[in-house]
Chains A and B, each alone.
Chain A
């Protein structure tokens, strides 16, 4: 809560400095990683307090889901488990990260209400908290990926290293989307419901538990499905393939367009978030 400034420096607060303060807020919020990381870890700890297995449940739940879906769908679609299970595991794990970051992003500021109104700290901390929490959950889920590729080894190759830039791009896009819906939801309380429903629909039209290759020619809802392309950026490398060039192009374009949009919106809304929550 101390505005972390040494005595001697002067803080100027005025209406015309609000946009600059908003940008500073995003930055100083990021630097308070100790705070939002503890918040995030506390959220997870709290969720499993007094449960014997604790956060291992995250891993178990994902394992059961992947196992069950893998069994059912490989039977339904007559697919080979060796290829299908790693594909499904990666798809579900990253889809989970994507949807929960966006849908929890919607309520990032709303649930932080008492802090936002009473504690002088960067508002963006609440957004980073949601992000960090979902990264922790994702890390637990990735154990399942590792188990699956031990049992059903994919074609190991250097292409897997493309996961790193792909994941970075994936996260950057998640970040701006989460922040945008977070701001809009704080003002318009219908947005979280809209977002939840949209994500639900997108889940079915995105190749996650079915493969894009089973469609003879790629339909528009795959070709123009930004979520499909984001997913490809991380899924392909983890399965030993190179993501399509188109996915890189779309991922980079979205990041270049979305990031400034999110910052613009944050600068505009910054002064009003404490009144909206």
Chain B
């Protein structure tokens, strides 16, 4: 059974300006007792998530909504283990798969097939898993012979089709998706919706961060609203 239990989760981080990161600033402030370069530590601390508690159960489909900077992406990144909590605890049962950036791992100089492997590996698949899925991915993209060409020769639509097809080949227990999965050109839209729904239905828990209410509705997601790092509304029934 997949389950996520979030208790009093707080995530804070320092944002360094362009000036606080240099060693000179740090050394100067040491040497001068902090007078000359008094702004060496002017890093701003951002509280991206503030004491969030949430239980997510097997079968839940959740759409995180809220303004930019409300903490949606931070929550996903923390669940994915990328950002670490500064307070509170998360207990996760099940394997986690995250689609936070539709193109990470893709290399414009490499061919389409090479990219299927590269991104596949990055998404956590093994070589034999990718071997068994590469034909299906290739068929879905409808890119045919183009898959043998470097991805930089692709149009934007072809590129996002390829990325989408690879992304949706994974099968985690818990799926985290930031800002949709990428779509491709209009003629392709129906295939995309069907494949996305099938993909999401295989996951035991799916969490989306999105402004796109139509997409969230398609996915059958219940909305949870965030504001300033807090949950302000939980519309799960």
Q: Do A and B come from one complex?
A: yes
Flag A1-14 by CB within 8 Å of B: 1 or 0 each.
Answer: 11111111111111
Q: Chain A contact residues (Cβ within 8 angstroms of B): what range?
A: 35 or more
Q: Does A252 contact B (CB under 8 A)?
A: no
Contacts of B100 in A (CB 8 A): 117-119
In the complex, are the beta carbons of A1 and B118 less than 8 A apart? no
In the complex, are the beta carbons of B82 and A120 less than 8 A apart? yes
Q: Does A27 contact B (CB under 8 A)?
A: no
Q: How far is the CA of A132 from the CA of B23 in the complex (A)?
A: 29
Q: How far is the CA of A120 from the CA of B204 in the complex (A)?
A: 19
In the complex, are the beta carbons of A46 and B107 less than 8 A apart? yes
Minimum CB–CB distance for B178 against chain A, Å: 8
Q: How far is the CA of A121 from the CA of B98 in the complex (A)?
A: 10
In the complex, are the beta carbons of A2 and B122 less than 8 A apart? no
Known: A7-B93, A115-B122, A120-B98. A42 touches B84 (CB 8 A): no
Q: Does A268 contact B (CB under 8 A)?
A: no
Known: A12-B90, A275-B14. A115 touches B104 (CB 8 A): yes
Flag B69-98 by CB within 8 Å of A: 1 or 0 each.
Answer: 000000001101111111111111111111
- Selected from A15, A35, A120, A191, the residue in CB contact (under 8 A) with B86 is A15
Q: Does B213 contact A (CB under 8 A)?
A: no
Q: Does A21 contact B (CB under 8 A)?
A: yes
- Selected from B16, B21, B82, B110, the residue in CB contact (under 8 A) with A46 is B110
In the complex, are the beta carbons of A271 and B84 less than 8 A apart? yes
Q: Does A80 contact B (CB under 8 A)?
A: no
Known: A2-B170, A115-B104, A120-B80. A12 touches B91 (CB 8 A): yes
Q: Does B127 contact A (CB under 8 A)?
A: yes
Minimum CB–CB distance for A110 against chain B, Å: 11
Q: Chain B contact residues (Cβ within 8 angstroms of A): what range?
A: 35 or more
Smallest CB gap from A193: residue in B: B23
Contacts of A117 in B (CB 8 A): 77, 82, 100-101
Smallest CB gap from B172: residue in A: A2
Minimum CB–CB distance for B153 against chain A, Å: 13
In the complex, are the beta carbons of B84 and A190 less than 8 A apart? no
Smallest CB gap from B127: residue in A: A34
Q: Does B59 contact A (CB under 8 A)?
A: no
In the complex, are the beta carbons of B110 and A42 less than 8 A apart? yes
- Selected from B14, B88, B104, the residue in CB contact (under 8 A) with A14 is B88
In the complex, are the beta carbons of B104 and A13 less than 8 A apart? no
Q: Does A155 contact B (CB under 8 A)?
A: no
In the complex, are the beta carbons of A11 and B98 less than 8 A apart? no
In the complex, are the beta carbons of A13 and B13 less than 8 A apart? no
Q: Does B124 contact A (CB under 8 A)?
A: yes
In the complex, are the beta carbons of A21 and B84 less than 8 A apart? yes
Contacts of A115 in B (CB 8 A): 104-105, 122
Q: How far is the CA of A14 from the CA of B90 in the complex (A)?
A: 6
- Give residues 172-219 of B contacting A (CB, 8 Å): 172-173, 204
Q: How far is the CA of A272 from the CA of B82 in the complex (A)?
A: 10
- Selected from B21, B95, B107, the residue in CB contact (under 8 A) with A2 is B95
Q: How far is the CA of A74 from the CA of B92 in the complex (A)?
A: 65
Q: How far is the CA of A4 from the CA of B96 in the complex (A)?
A: 8
Q: Does A218 contact B (CB under 8 A)?
A: no
Known: A13-B81, A120-B80, A190-B24. A1 touches B93 (CB 8 A): no
- Give residues 15-67 of B contacting A (CB, 8 Å): 15-16, 21-24, 26
Known: A115-B105, A270-B84. A3 touches B122 (CB 8 A): no
In the complex, are the beta carbons of A10 and B85 less than 8 A apart? no
Known: A34-B121, A188-B23, A189-B21. A3 touches B91 (CB 8 A): no
In the complex, are the beta carbons of A2 and B104 less than 8 A apart? no
Q: Does B109 contact A (CB under 8 A)?
A: yes
Q: How far is the CA of A276 from the CA of B94 in the complex (A)?
A: 29
In the complex, are the beta carbons of B95 and A12 less than 8 A apart? no
Q: Does B126 contact A (CB under 8 A)?
A: yes
- Give residues 189-235 of A contacting B (CB, 8 Å): 189-191, 194
Q: How far is the CA of A24 from the CA of B171 in the complex (A)?
A: 24
Complex A-B: 11 CB contacts under 8 Å: A2-B170, A7-B95, A10-B91, A10-B93, A15-B88, A34-B121, A42-B118, A115-B105, A119-B100, A272-B14, A275-B15
B contact set with A: CB distance below 8 Å: 1-2, 13-16, 21-24, 26, 77-78, 80-98, 100-101, 104-105, 107, 109-110, 114, 117-118, 121-124, 126-127, 170, 172-173, 204
Q: Given A13-B78, A46-B109, A119-B100, 13 other A-B contacts at CB below 8 A?
A: A1-B80, A2-B170, A8-B93, A12-B92, A14-B89, A35-B121, A35-B122, A42-B114, A46-B107, A117-B100, A118-B101, A119-B122, A190-B24
